Structure 1
Amino acid sequence: MTDLLTLFSDPAVLAALVTLIVMEVVLGIDNLIFISILSNKLPEHQRQKARRVGIALALIMRLALLSMISWIVGLTAPVFDLGIVGPPGAHGEPAFETQFSWRDLILIAGGLFLLWKATKEIHHAMDPVPSDHDILDKEATAALNFGGAIVQILLLDMVFSVDSILTAVGMTDHLPVMVIAVVVAVLVMLLAADPLANFINRNPTVVMLALGFLLMIGAVLIADGFGVHVPKGYIYAAMAFSALVETLNIFSRRAHARKRAATAQMGEGGD
């Protein structure tokens, strides 16, 4: 306890803790959007439980990875090299890395899964007249059981947890700081899970926007796996701007709906 008090009496450590908490919360948005969309496909009485279990698994996985920091850092070591040279970049270097680590492979696999899942959901949302194949596919989707949802959430938890912990390791050397930041970030996810999922479920246009976010996140994960690093600030700024525009659209639609309702009521009163 004395060591912890001494550690957190250092302003630099406190600053690192606050910065890391903000980073972990922001990184958790991706995880939370996926959990919200997937849990909304379950029967209503199972949705909240699926979100709770999914977020609990995210916390357990992050804490487990923190207990194996030396191993998690080792995931960044190259495991094979394709031995090819990509098209030259701006400074003559290859446009993408040819050496791949386990972290790269995990990010690429997670990105491909997100692209597949989001594309499939967008197709279902956009196709008003399903074919026989789509009917069978939708029946299978409707029959998605609780266990199947948890397995998919667990797979994405692993991808986002690896990225989260590597971010934490890169920002501080103090394990207690990492643990506190991860726990606080997951608690924020837990508090935001139900409101976010319910909001997405009530607004079909927000569902499409969230699926667009998943497509972008999947593409960024794949690019990161190939060594093309897109600054996270650009990604989250674009997401925030899109969310702001959609919020204004929602307010506009509600204002028009109230105006139409008031006009209809006045017409009925005149009669």
Structure 2
Amino acid sequence: MDIKTLELKAAQMRLATWKMIFEAGTGHTGSDLSCTDILVALYYSVLKQTPATFADPKRDRYIQSKGHAVEILYNVLADRGYFSKKDLTTYSQFNSPYIGHPTNHINGIEQNTGSLGHGLGLSAGIALAAKLDQSDYHVYTLMGDGEQAEGSVWEAAMFASNYKLDNLTAIIDHNGLQISGPTTKVMNSESLAAKYEAFGFDVIEINGNDISELVKTLKIPNTAGKPRLILADTIKGCGISFAENKPEWHHKVPTAEQYQQGVQELQTIIGGLKNE
């Protein structure tokens, strides 16, 4: 897909996720909208994995450490054909496998996540396994910036650097907010770039809501012997004007009026992209 098509896809995925959260009456709205562009760049342009190759040992791996943003992951996977879009009408209903955090009972999901601080460790272990097996697949993981307060993240970072895991790319959805407020006030972990560099990572900072920048950066080969950290500066609630940069939208369901306003805003974006 070209960049304009990817931008259109991201807007469509935001709309689908907004709709699903409203209808289900639950969801991490701001977190989903924040990282939409990252998932679209990975799944439609970068990740060497398809529904047909998901069981192939040579496939790239993606671990969503910030598992609470599962609604956008479900919508992207459904759109890519890992399962039927109709399945998502059962989201968060009794006996549905489509629950509020990723589970590997669902096709396309590698690992159960949601207890923050686990994704980087899981990904580093999988990346080391690739090295030991002399396999050339790449491992990607997405973390939140609030998640960086977890000590296990830094143990995993030390591990990844020690074992020279240049087949590992960690991405931080750096929107500056978590459920209880700004990350700098809840538990200041800045400067994340300097910290990861000190831990031996190759660090690149980009606009995480810019599809062009994301695709370009994700396709740059890792520096030999170094894991990579992409610090993706994003807007929490991106795409819905009244939800942007508002911590209360971390986990919030729109009212009927807010829902309609959000639909109109996203449809305007979609219409504009189609007419370009």
> Would you call these one fold, judging by a TM-score over 0.5?
no
Q: TM-score, normalised by structure 2?
A: 0.24
Q: TM-score, normalised by structure 1?
A: 0.25
Larger-gyration structure (1/2): 1
Greater helix proportion: 1
